[in-house]
Amino acid sequence: MKSIQDVRATNAETFNTKTRSHLYTQWQRFTASDHSSFRIGIWGTTGAGKTTFLAMLYDALLLRPGWTVAADGKARGFITGHLRNIRTKGRFPAPTEVTAETDIFRYILQEEGSQGADGAYNQITLDFVDAPGEFYERPHQADRRVSGKMDILDYLSSCDGIIFLLDPDRVDESLGDEDDDYRTMLLDLMLEFQERGIKSGVSDDLRLEQYMAFCATKSDKNTYWTQREAPQNLLENVMGDTMYRMLGSNFCKPNRYSFFAVSAIGRYQDPETGEWVENVSYNGQAPAPRRSRAQEPVVSTTNIGPAYEPGAPEAAAVAEETETPAPPRSPNASWAPVSGNGGSRPDYAPEVSIVRKSAITPFNVLEPLDWLIESMRRDPPRILK
Ligand SMILES: Nc1nc2c(ncn2[C@@H]2O[C@H](COP(=O)(O)OP(=O)(O)O)[C@@H](O)[C@H]2O)c(=O)[nH]1
Ligand SMILES: [Mg+2]
C-alpha cells in the first residue's frame, strides 16, 4: 500500500483543472435534478476517516427499519468495493487518490410516512465527494479562480447541512510546517460561508444558515472513548478552543451546530469479560497505541533550543574532561534530538486492521445525520442553490 506521502505527492500533481471540470459537469447534472430535498455534504481532511465512515454509514442506513436508502450508480461501486474490504477482509480503504474522474456520489434517503400532502416523499440527499483531504484542506489553491469551475467551496456552500469529520489524532503537534491546523481551515471555511451568505442576499442575518455537525472520528480509541459522553470537549481540543468559541459567538445560530463522537468501526464486546474493547489493531499488535501529546518525549528538539545542539557548546565541556579516558555518558545524551517522525502526520498503515470483522459495531454513525435531518425539517435553512 502506498504511503500517505506518496499519495499526497501524486495528488498534488493530478489535482488540476481537468478534475475540477469533471466535477463541475456532474454537479450540474445533480443540481438540475434536485427537487425539494435537503442536501447534506461532508467535509474532512486526509485520513480523517471519510471513506470508512461513508461506507459504514450506508451499511447502517440499509439496516435501518423505516428508512430506505438508494445509491446512484457511481456511489454503488464505491460502497460495494469498500464494504467488502471492511466487512470481509477487515481492511481499511486505501488512501483516496485524486483522479480526473473524482466523482460526486449521492445517497438518497427516504423515510416511511414522510410524504407531503401531494404524496411526494420528502427526500434527503447526501452528496459527497470522496476526494482526498487536499481537496478540503486547500480550497483556495491555485487554479480555482482561474478555471472558474466547481470546487469544494461551491459544493459545501450549496449544502443545507454539513457533516464535519475531524481526526482527533491530528493535533497541532502532529502537523508538518506546510499543514494548516483545523482552526485555520475551519475559520477560512466559516468566513467563506459568511461571505457567500451575505452576497446571496437570502438573509440579512450575518450568521450562517447551514446546519453543522462536528464529529470527532475514531472515538473507539481508548482515550477518546472515555470522552464520548462529552463530545464538545473532545472537539474543543481538536479544533482549538478559540475556533470552538467562535462558532457560538460569531458564526452559528444557536441550534444549528452540534458535536458528536463517532466511530465507523466501533468497539466490540469481548465474549469472555463482557467488556467493550478496541476493534482496531495497530502494527499488527494488540490494539491500543495512540498518538498523543502525552506520548511525545518530554524534552523535544523544540524546547531544547539551539544552545543545546550536541557538539556545539557542550564540546567545550567535554574537552576539559579529556583526561578521563572514557567519560561517562552525559545525562544530557538522553536529550538527543528526536529525529524526524515526531512531527509527521498519522500514516496510513496497512498493518492497521480490524480485529473482529464479524463484530463491527459502528458507533454514532447515524446520529449526526438524524440530528441534521430533524433540525432542518423543523427550521429549514435558506440556502441559495
Ligand atoms: N480506530 C479507528 N480508526 C479508523 C476508523 N476509521 C478510519 N480509521 C483509520 O483512519 C485511516 C483513514 O481512514 P479513511 O477512511 O481512509 O480516511 P479518509 O482519508 O478521510 O478517507 C484508516 O486507514 C484507519 O487507519 C475508525 O472508525 N476507528
Ligand atoms: Mg478516503
Name the CATH code of domain 4-288+344-378 (choices 1.10.10, 3.40.1350, 3.40.50, 2.60.40).
3.40.50
Closest ligand to C-alpha of residue 54 is 1
Q: Please work out, in degrees rounded to the nearest 5, the angle formed at the alpha carbon of residue 340 by the alpha carbons of 335 and 342.
A: 75
Ligand 1 center to residue 93 CA distance, Å? 8
Q: Using 50, 70 and 90 to split pLDDT, how confident is the model at 121?
A: confident
Q: Residues 364-371: what's their mean pLDDT?
A: 96
pLDDT in the model for residue 15: 57
Give the pLDDT confidence of 77-89 residue by residue, as tens digits: 888 899 999 999 9
Please determine, for residue 65, whether its predicted confidence score (pLDDT) is greater than 50. Answer: yes
Cell of residue 160, nine digits = 443545507
The C-alpha atoms of residue 309 and residue 13 are separated, in whole angstroms, by 37
Q: Residues 287-310: what's their mean pLDDT?
A: 35
Please determine, for residue 332, whether its predicted confidence score (pLDDT) is greater than 90. Answer: no
CB of residue 264 inside a 6 A radius of ligand 1: yes
Cell of residue 233, nine digits = 470537549
CB of residue 262 inside a 6 A radius of ligand 1: no
Domain ranges of the chain: 4-288+344-378, 298-337
- Cα-Cα-Cα-Cα dihedral of 133, 135, 140, 146, to 10°? 160
Length of the chain: 385
Cell match 466535477: residue? 23
